[in-house]
Chain A
Amino acid sequence: MLEVDNLAKRYGDVVALRDLSVRVEEGECLVLLGRNGAGKTTALRCMAGVLLPTAGTVRVDGIDAAEDPTAVRARVGLMPEVPGLYERMSARAYLDHFGAIYDLEPSIRRRRIEELLETFELTDAGDRWLGTFSKGMRQKVALIRATLHRPRLILADEPTSALDPDSARRAWIYLKDLQKSGCALVICTHSMDEAEQLAGDIGIMSGGRALAVGNMVELRRHSGLKPHQEVRELPTLQDIYLAIVDNEGGLHRRELAETRTA
């Protein structure tokens, strides 16, 4: 479904992404973890066909994002970190507008909009202007918008960061249902809970590079962490993440020191 090979992206002199390679098949979910500025958002934008790679390739459903970005964007649902809603539109009108852009039949989009508003408990607020919505409600509308056209690939940047625990759980269930129906997911998050809930594979990014990509077992092996001796408990994702990122940080510091000495 999604094939990313040696993806690199520069903004002028700044290297935002380098040598990223990942695969996500139908019904799979890849979670990207990383510090702020690690390149996660840029990676999502390249995967969505919004930004063109400086080097490397992105293929969605076999379509090269550099050759036919319009076709790629039609197959993808991107949920950016900031919901970016039109404040002077009602939720229904807003979703209808985007449904029309994605060529959904009017009857189908009306039905789906009502279903999804109900799923996210927004039916009663559906005719209110989006400018009056709370942060969490906006995030729900953004999630509905990104998935309304049943995309083959969903790219979500911190999809539940503004949601209360109950709504977040509801959103995870919704995303898992989409995943079961064959949709591929790539999610950027800082929430280890969310990562553990959703992920098949996890990619840990730093400085525009993927330090490690794999499932929990593979990452545990990569991190070199042993089970906690006292209770024989497996290391959590939080432990693994910190170990991998800290190792990389240590390596980077050592490389820097060696360069200075030389």
Chain B
Amino acid sequence: MSWPKLERRKAALVASRDLRDAVSELRLIVAMVGLTLAIPIASASGVRALAAFGGGTAVVNRLSLVGAFFVVFIPASFSLVLALESFVGERERTTLEVLLSTPLREAEIYAGKVAAVLAVSLTLCYGGLIVYCLIAFPGLGYFPLGILLALALSTICQVAAMVAGAVIISLNARTMRAANVMASFIILPMSIVLQVEAALILLGRADFLWAFALAMAVVAIVLLRMGFSGFSREALLARDVGLRNPLRRARRAVRASFETRPGIFRLIWMRRTPMLLAAAGLPFGALAGYLAGASNAVPSAVMRPVLASLIRSTGEGGPINEVATVFSHNVLAFLLVAVLAITTAGLSGFLLTFAPGFLLGFAAALSSWTLALTGIVPNGIVEIPAAIIAGGLAIQLGAAAIHMDARGGWTDRVLAAFADYVRALRWLVPALAVSAVLEVFIG
């Protein structure tokens, strides 16, 4: 994965201009200072008041962490507004063409704009966090440095992910109104991310927060990379204001994506790299599951009900019913994997083989490999290759979803990868039916 060349001084010029613009608006400054000072002071005062008026230590300690999360989160939301405005705002104010006519490279313009938004947002986040810590913690007898550092790092990554995503929207939207509507693509996933983060903070486990920060860093890098690759002067100066007859165009695009696609054997050969990745998921999952079971990293008390529920889910009421249940579960899993591949960058494709491998390894750790393997023979002979093919195609679909190209064609690439998946289902679904029969009648 190569990053485009850029001259830092040039990117800094773009960033300094945008920063100057952001801080020259008095109303914005008032809002920023208000958020950086008023909310942290109010939150910290609340924590101190609770401590002074007899709140239990555990409650006060937890509340102080939630307060820190709250103080950091609200200014971070500012980044979304500023980032959404970065390109589409210039386009609406007609200043974009001038910027694009300079010798600045695409990467310099993009990096400068992202840096300006990050600078404002992180100043607000960290300013607020420092003010909060200075008021809330002195004399409290509790200062969770590890969690606060992990929170600070995950904030950078979260803001970077949000900004990178918003800049991609800003690059592709024609008007500020459209950009605001499209912002829901960021707000909805981010609301889930924030709930997860809040839960981790309440658990009080710094190690989980570090892992969370790492995951957010990966997301931010992927989104930044997408933004760099998808930056196109052509698209920014294009005159279209939206698609006419969107349904008809979508129908045509879907039909076109199904034409001239390769047959199943050629497809497997063409997609051998993602399929090898998917194939690797099974042994890696088995190894991880075995280690998790043997070392008790995941308590067997947690996993036993999962394994039991999987066995129960084969259904009751005769072999035909069992075949139908196994078959429908597997088909549902294959369909979900394809849909999720687009939003998980293909991770769901890897999990399609990794997760069963993990369960197999875990079961082996609790009993033996021989016993565990009897659970997947003979149906696995058909089911595992089907899962590898589906997993590989889902990884390809995810890769197409995160691959941006300045020449455009994102929709075509994703539709082609999706068409490959759907066409492969013509072979995979019968394979799953055979596998279900084998599992119930011979397994």
Contacts and interface: CB of A to CB of B under 8 A. Distances in A.
A50 B97 contact: yes
The winner among B20, B98, B240 for most chain A CB atoms within 10 A is: B98
B260 interface: no
A74 B103 contact: yes
A50 B233 contact: yes
Interface string B89-111: 00001111110111111000000
Nearest to A100: B13
B240 A11 contact: yes
Interface residues of B, number: 25
Contact of A88 (B21, B103, B105, B237): B21
Contacts of A102: 102-103
A73 B234 contact: no
A51 B97 CA distance: 11
B97 A80 contact: yes
B22 to A, nearest CB: 10
Interface string A66-88: 00001101101010101111111
Nearest to B18: A86
A195 interface: no
Contact of A101 (B13, B25, B239): B13
A35 interface: no
B20 A11 contact: no
Contacts of A71: 103
B304 interface: no
Given A12-B240, A45-B237, A70 B105 contact: yes
B238 A11 contact: yes
B95 A84 contact: yes
Contact of B96 (A78, A84, A88): A84
A216 B17 CA distance: 45
A101 B98 contact: no
Contacts of B237: 45, 50-51
Interface in B92-141: 93-98, 100-105
Contact of B102 (A11, A89, A98): A98
A85 B20 CA distance: 14
A11 B96 contact: no
Interface in A75-113: 76, 78, 80, 82-89, 97-98, 100-102
Contacts of A100: 13
Contacts of A51: 233-234, 237
A4 to B, nearest CB: 17
A74 B20 CA distance: 25
Nearest to A44: B101
A50 B101 contact: yes
Contact of A11 (B95, B101, B105, B239): B239
B101 A80 contact: yes
Interface string B220-245: 00000000000001100111100000
B295 interface: no
A187 interface: no
Given A11-B239, A51-B233, A86 B21 contact: yes
B377 to A, nearest CB: 55
B271 interface: no
B240 A88 contact: no
A82 B97 contact: yes
A82 to B, nearest CB: 5
A89 B10 CA distance: 19
Nearest to A49: B101
Contacts of A74: 103
A76 B103 CA distance: 9
B195 to A, nearest CB: 38
The winner among A11, A84, A85, A100 for most chain B CB atoms within 10 A is: A84
Contacts of B102: 73, 98, 101-102
B24 interface: yes
Contacts of B13: 97, 100-101
A75 B104 CA distance: 12
A97 B102 CA distance: 11
Contacts of B25: 88
A152 interface: no
Interface of B: 10, 13, 17, 20-21, 24-25, 93-98, 100-105, 233-234, 237-240
18 contacts: A12-B240, A45-B237, A50-B100, A50-B237, A52-B234, A70-B103, A73-B102, A80-B97, A80-B98, A82-B97, A87-B93, A89-B20, A97-B13, A97-B17, A100-B13, A101-B10, A101-B13, A101-B103
